[in-house]
Amino acid sequence: MDDAEFQDWLALTPAERFLESQRLWEVFFALGGTCDLEPDSQSPFDLFRSWDEGDPDGGPGLHPLRRGGVQP
């Protein structure tokens, strides 16, 4: 956002900013925007990832046990 546009935004009252925001949402949706969540594989809260996808041992931080036990 350039400085003149930012100054225009600051000159609006809170009620005018709210109305302008509503118009911007209408444009966003008209252009095909959506409020659907996008998967984020880096997030610990990634709800779209199944724990059994790619994690044969049950998930991150878990390691399979050795079958032979511990050698002295």
DSSP state of 53: S
Gap between the Cα atoms of 65 and 71, Å rounded: 13
**Of 68 and 17, the one with more pLDDT:** 17
Tens of pLDDT, residue by residue over 11-60, are 999 999 999 999 999 999 999 988 877 777 777 776 655 544 555 555 55
Q: What is the pLDDT of residue 72?
A: 61
Give the per-residue pLDDT at 17. 94
Q: What pLDDT does residue 26 have? A: 94
| Interval 59-64 mean pLDDT | 56
pLDDT reported for residue 52: 45
- Paired tokens of 9: 């935004």
CB contact set of 39 (below 8 Å; sequence gap of 6+):
46, 48, 49
Helix (H, G, I), strand (E, B) or coil at 14: helix
Question: Which value, to the nearest 10 degrees, does the dihedral of the CA atoms of residues 16, 17, 19, 25 take?
Answer: 160
